[in-house]
Amino acid sequence: MINVLDSVLESTGQPPLAERMHEAFSERGPFAKSKDFEFRPQQQRMAELVAEALEKKRPLVVEAATGVGKSLAYLLPAVTHALEAERKAIICTHTINLQEQLINKDIPIVKKIVGEFKAELLKGRGNYLCPTRLQRAFHDTPDLFTSTEVADMKLILDWAGKTKDGTLSDMDFTPSMKVWSLVCSEAHACTPRKCGPGSGCFYQAARRRMAEADVVILNHTLFFTLLNSVDEELLPDDANFLFPRDFVIVDEAHTIESIAAKQLGLHVSESSIRFDLGRLYNPKTRKGFLAYVKDDNGIREVQQCLEEVENFFRAIEGSSNFQGWAKEFRVREPDLVDNSLSLPLKRVADAVLKASDKADKESTKTELNDLAKRIVSHRATVEAFLEQSEDDHVYWVEKGGSDQRTMSLHSAPIDVAPKLEEIFFGGGKPCVFTSATLGIGSDEQLGYFRKRVGANRASAAMIDSPFDFSKQMRLYLVKSMPAPATPTYDEALRKWIAHFLDLSRGKAFVLFTNYTSMKQTAEAMEDYFDERGWNLLVQGAGKPRHQLLAEFKDDLHSVLFGTDSFWTGVDVPGESLSNVIITKLPFAMPDHPVTASRLERIEERGGNSFMEYSVPEAILKLRQGVGRLIRSKKDKGICVILDNRVLTKQYGRSFLAAMPDCPVEIVS
């Protein structure tokens, strides 16, 4: 059977897509007309591989090191294939920064090459304002909102008349969670029928644009959310993932295992149940939908259920033996506590449905029905958690909130590879997984990553960076650094951080694996920074991540202390970042239930969990951290590893083998 692309090629006489990508990224190709173009054979090779994978409907896993220019290397073949084969390209990323780069920078470049096409950025529906719900809520304010919440509503109304984007990110203020929950798009209250063309609904307008788009950009979490909500019976036969005739490019694929584990598991929290019950009736304010419809029976059921929520989660808290500083408690057996919450939740749901039947406004019926479904969902999740109904899942309780007494219940699959293989790598679905860090050094075929995500049948490639690390970067290793558990560690850590900061005159990221250690080190080094007049920026000290980065870039000698989120997805080219200090090898905490269960699974099968999982995962994280340093051909700088295990332990060779090929200096 001749597919659409074959017929296109026959009618146009064009060569295979891979050949055309070779030409497009050549020194004579269309990109070369731009004064900013720099010929990179690595980028050219990646574009060929992506084109071949899409054309032949074969899955591909490709590591493209920093500097390759992977975004354009997959965008041009993806867009060309989408247009010629009349398919939809789904570009799936982890970070907002990359999504914005694709939409604002890379796609306009591709349009200059292939002509006009439709590309849309899709956010989770809870980010979009639904004007229909906004009008309903505003007219019902007397029994739904306090005076403070009414003020919030007026701000949203004013903003709604000005915004073109219609999403939370376009706001210059932060509305209360309760108010926004009643005006944003929700599955049952905001539908194509209720919010059709002309309604001004931002989410439904986005959905219509998605249907017409050639390229859809979204994040990993939303991809799995949409995948779980797709009704397979209603999907056309030619759908691969989310849309008819689509294919997927997964960028920042090094995060896909952890995102998938989270999205494919169970999650319900004390606060989320209280929040939805509070939308029905809040005993303190005496506001809510049940107050609005004057349903006294429903109000009583909510009040009784709120009491049982308190009893149930205090029982959960009392049965969870949190060790030391741990915020997670692994639950190994079903029925951690008696399910005293199921019946009260059922009674609330039943009462809400009865109230809906009596409501005189269709909009009120819709809102009540939606809340009833949420209560039913909470009940089902609590039951599934207590019964541990999912095989091969790990279950745990987590504590949070300002007083560390807000409980939440979670589960995650121990091994996501079978499910990811089913989703992405079975049945000839065209998809590409890519990232700057997928390999663990000597692993040329990316075997470790492919095994973790079920991509054993996918072809694999590693594309080196065009940067000359031998001239751009120097790696320092401190042999005399004491072990973290020893009494002299903290003093030595501060000493060596100061030593290498003096070497680069600030301009550094100092990356920690532990928030407490970072905070204590920052406090102890305040005088050091004051003496030098350098601005010390500390993650978690009140400023959001994007503001810390902006200040770091603007202040040439500033130093940023960061933990997990600064190891990856941060791009600071130029002199501002001339030094990356790794305080400790980034081994995952072995006591987190997900990590512990994966280690146990390897040991049960007769493997060495430390070498087969802990070390490879730490290598990938270290490569991400080190990768913050050199972001362009003009960048120069130093990287420091303040963990002598890379020199004293046999596995340290694996870490060093995964580092860029640059001069190494060992400091005693």
CA-based angle 640:641:645, to the nearest 5? Answer: 155
Any idea what DSSP says for residue 589? Answer: P
Residue 176 identity (one-letter amino acid): S
For the ranges 87-91, 176-180, 468-472, the lowest mean pLDDT is seen at 176-180
pLDDT of residue 5: 39
**621 versus 573: which is more confidently predicted?**
621
Q: What's the token pair of residue 80? A: 């060309």
Contacts of 624 (CB under 8 A, 6+ apart): 254, 436, 437, 567, 568
pLDDT of residue 589: 86
**Helix/strand/coil for 64:** strand
Alpha-carbon dihedral angle through residues 258, 262, 265, 270, given to the nearest 10 degrees:
150
> Rounded to whole angstroms, how far apart are CA atoms 52 and 54?
6
Segments in 555-614 forming alpha helices (H): 593-604, 609
Q: What's the token pair of residue 125? A: 């529906």
Spatial CA neighbour of 395 closest among 258, 266, 261, 225: 266
pLDDT of residue 196: 85
- pLDDT digits over 327-353, tens only? 999 999 999 999 999 999 999 999 999
Mean pLDDT for the stretch of residues 396-407: 91
Strand-strand pairing, 579-582 and 637-641: parallel
pLDDT bucket at 435, cuts 50 / 70 / 90: very high
Are the C-beta atoms of 250 and 431 separated by less than 8 Å?
yes
Residue 389's CB is within 10 A of a number of other CB atoms, namely 13
Contacts of 156 (CB under 8 A, 6+ apart): 129, 134, 175, 179, 180, 183
Percent of the chain with pLDDT over 90: 75
Res 427 pLDDT > 80: no
Contacts of 246 (CB under 8 A, 6+ apart): 87, 88, 89, 90, 239, 240
For the ranges 343-347, 508-512, 537-541, the lowest mean pLDDT is seen at 537-541
pLDDT of residue 307: 97
Question: Can you list the positions of beta strands (E) in 75-151?
Answer: 88-93, 119-121
Q: What's the token pair of residue 150? A: 């009414």
pLDDT of residue 142: 67
pLDDT of residue 466: 94
Chain-wide mean pLDDT for the chain?
Answer: 91
Q: Which residues pair with 475 in a beta bridge?
A: 639, 664
Are the C-beta atoms of 438 and 473 separated by less than 8 Å?
no
Are the C-beta atoms of 637 and 579 separated by less than 8 Å?
yes
**230 versus 64: which is more confidently predicted?**
64
Mean pLDDT for the stretch of residues 233-241: 58
Segments in 429-475 forming alpha helices (H): 447-452, 469-472
- pLDDT digits over 643-655, tens only? 999 999 999 999 9
Residue 96: C-alpha distances to residues 344, 548, 565 (Å): 40, 16, 13
Res 4 pLDDT > 60: no
> Rounded to whole angstroms, how far apart are CA atoms 174 and 419?
37
Res 442 pLDDT > 80: no
Are the C-beta atoms of 455 and 644 separated by less than 8 Å?
no
CA-based angle 586:587:590, to the nearest 5? Answer: 145
Res 472 pLDDT > 80: yes
Any idea what DSSP says for residue 129? Answer: B
pLDDT bucket at 212, cuts 50 / 70 / 90: very high
pLDDT of residue 11: 43
- pLDDT digits over 239-291, tens only? 678 888 899 999 999 999 999 999 999 999 999 999 999 999 999 999 999 99
CA-based angle 102:256:381, to the nearest 5? Answer: 120
pLDDT of residue 487: 93
pLDDT of residue 568: 87
Mean pLDDT for the stretch of residues 418-443: 90
